[in-house]
Amino acid sequence: MTTTTQLETEVIQICQDLIRIPSVNFGDGKGNEKEVADYVVASLAEVGIASTIYESAPGRCNVMARIKGRDSTRPGLVLHGHLDVVPVNAADWSVDPFCGDIIDGMIWGRGAVDMKNMNAMMLATIREWSRNGYVPPRDLVLAFFADEEAGSIFGSHWMVDKHPELFAGCTEAVSEVGGFSVTVGGGKRLYMIETAEKGIHWMKLTAQGRAGHGSVMNDENALTRLTEAVAKIGNHEWPQRYSKTVKALFKKVAASTGKTYDENDLRPLLSEVGFAARMIGATLQNTANPTMLEAGYKANVIPGSASAVIDGRFIPGFEHELNETIASLIGPHISIETITRDEALEVPFEGDLVDAMCNAILKEDAEAIPVPYLMSGGTDNKALAELGIIGYGFSPLKLDADFDFMSLFHGVDERVPVDGLTFGVRVLKDFLEHC
């Protein structure tokens, strides 16, 4: 019979507690992290750790703390998570989206994978250290950011802009969406450590036309112009563009499965990466997805303008290709306004920090194969990169082969396996004690 340690018991309870605080971010500045930020502050204070809330706007709260290490002359490490979650339509869920209950060996609720599981791992680890008087090898900056789900304007970007001194001396950072297992052919488990992120360009397209009565001919209809452009963008076939990280990942996939590696076309290997195929597939090319439309105010009135939002993501080194392609597709009567833009990131899968990640995983899973990967989305590492801080995704989870992890990000019935979470906190703690 396996005995649950205090560390494991706490990470489960903290994850449940965090999920039960609905820190929903609706976008356009409509969010509130105050209650969950207060919980984090109280959780740290309970074990004697002081932290500070930085409020970037009413209710938009960031929590910061600094843990002194044994050797403060070494560069510090930023360990960060975000406190906000995306909205839910409760009618689509089979449980209360904020219940935090354990059902079938899973903790259910919004934020279970994105990313209150990692926040719980962070808090549980730091709390155990404080109780035991443990001092980490180097200074650790704890950051719990607001607003990551809407561009980090009130979160990490605001903190980097207004309070860069809090990150002084730090050169590396660790956060979400990395260190999770993917079972490939032959039952081998790859643990995907995020060493790269696609860049972000969210843009608003606005078509101009001639307003008029809906019953008459109109060859300058703004809606027609807009929808034609949106359809072209949505149906565009982007060329394959392979980053160094993607090539390194697929070499490992080929070696692990005995399949052929063809650097000129990696798509045949996508079927080998299970639930991660959709996300990994998006890292083989630029993407641009229409996500919002706005036009008109009455059934019989042709509006003078119409707008759409495009979520553009670009491979490291291919931002110009994304922007130039969009411009060529939309036509002459449509303007482009940037809503949010963030850099693509890519760092080598090597060095002491990466070695510590790999070693921590291998201690818990001797058959693990750590690999780098390029994330199709983005994290708060983008903001920290403005300070020269190199970021990685490492929120470790051991997952069953048939558990569709990636579909749960922003998805219905979001949940995280309890045994995956307890595995993760053991790995994260070991990593932080040896990095």
- CATH value at residue 205: 3.30.70.360
Residues 387 and 279 in one domain: no
Express each pLDDT in 320-363 by its tens digit: 999 999 999 998 899 999 998 999 999 999 999 999 999 999 99
Distance CA 80, CA 141 (A): 8
54 and 167 Cβ atoms separated by less than 8 Å: no
Beta bridge partners of 174: 79, 392
Q: How confident is residue 274, by pLDDT bands cut at 50, 70 and 90?
A: confident
384 and 160 Cβ atoms separated by less than 8 Å: yes
Instruction: Give how far the C-alpha of residue 422 lies from the chain's centroid of Cα atoms, to the nearest Å.
Output: 21
70 within domain boundaries: yes
Q: Locate 18 and state its tokens.
A: 């965090």
Express each pLDDT in 172-213 by its tens digit: 999 999 999 999 987 899 999 999 999 999 999 999 999 999
344 and 244 Cβ atoms separated by less than 8 Å: no
Q: How confident is residue 246, by pLDDT bands cut at 50, 70 and 90?
A: very high
Rounded mean pLDDT, 234-240: 97
Q: Supply the mean pLDDT for the chain.
A: 96
395-415 burial code (b ≥16 CB/10 A, e <16):
bbbbbeeebebbebeebebbb
Per-residue model confidence (pLDDT) at position 390: 97
Tell me which residue range forms the domain holding 253.
199-342
Residues 115 and 258 in one domain: no
Residues 29 and 117 in one domain: yes
Q: How many domains does the chain have?
A: 2
Q: What is the 3-state secondary structure (H, E, C) of the chain?
A: CCCCCHHHHHHHHHHHHHHCCCCEECCCCCECCHHHHHHHHHHHHCCCCCCEEEEEECCEEEEEEEECCCCCCCCEEEEEEECCECCCCHHHCCCCCCCCCEECCEEECCCCCCCHHHHHHHHHHHHHHHHHCCCCCCCEEEEEECCHHHCCCCCHHHHHHHCHHHHCCEEEEEECCCCEEEECHHHCEEEEEEEEECEEEEEEEEEECCCEECCCCCCCCHHHHHHHHHHHHHHCCCCECCCHHHHHHHHHHHHHHCCCCCCCCCHHHHHHHHHHHHHHHCCCECEEEEEEEEECCCCCEECCEEEEEEEEEECCCCHHHHHHHHHHHHCCCEEEEEEEEECCEECCCCCHHHHHHHHHHHHHCCCCEEEEEEECCCCCHHHHHCCCCEEEECCCECCCCCCCCHHHCCCCCCEEEHHHHHHHHHHHHHHHHHC
Q: Locate 414 and state its tokens.
A: 């979001």
Residues 162 and 204 in one domain: no
Residues 56 and 168 in one domain: yes
352 within domain boundaries: no
373 within domain boundaries: no
With 50 as the cut, is the pLDDT of residue 250 above it?
Answer: yes
Q: Locate 382 and state its tokens.
A: 């983008």
315 and 286 Cβ atoms separated by less than 8 Å: yes
Distance CA 388, CA 76 (A): 12
97 within domain boundaries: yes
Residues 336 and 214 in one domain: yes
Residues 146 and 240 in one domain: no
Burial of 211: CB neighbours in 10 Å, binned 0-12, 13-18, 19+: middle
Strand-strand pairing, 305-314 and 199-208: antiparallel
364 within domain boundaries: no
Residues 205 and 157 in one domain: no
User: What's phi and psi for 181, nearest 5 deg?
Assistant: -90, 145
Q: How far is CA 359 from CA 196, 326, 434, in A?
A: 20, 43, 9
Single-letter amino acid, residue 97? P
Express each pLDDT in 156-177 by its tens digit: 999 999 999 999 999 999 999 9
Express each pLDDT in 116-163 by its tens digit: 999 999 999 999 999 999 999 999 999 999 999 998 999 999 999 999
- CATH value at residue 147: 3.40.630.10
Query: Terminus-to-terminus CA distance in the chain, angstroms?
Result: 32
Q: Locate 242 and state its tokens.
A: 């392979």
Q: Is the peptide bond before 115 cis (omega within 30 degrees of 0)?
A: yes
Per-residue model confidence (pLDDT) at position 2: 58
Express each pLDDT in 276-307 by its tens digit: 998 999 999 999 999 999 999 999 999 999 99
Question: Nearest Cα to 151, choosing from 203, 196, 111?
Answer: 203
* Maximum pairwise Cα distance, the chain: 78
Residues 141 and 23 in one domain: yes
Burial of 137: CB neighbours in 10 Å, binned 0-12, 13-18, 19+: middle
Residues 158 and 226 in one domain: no
Distance CA 401, CA 412 (A): 20
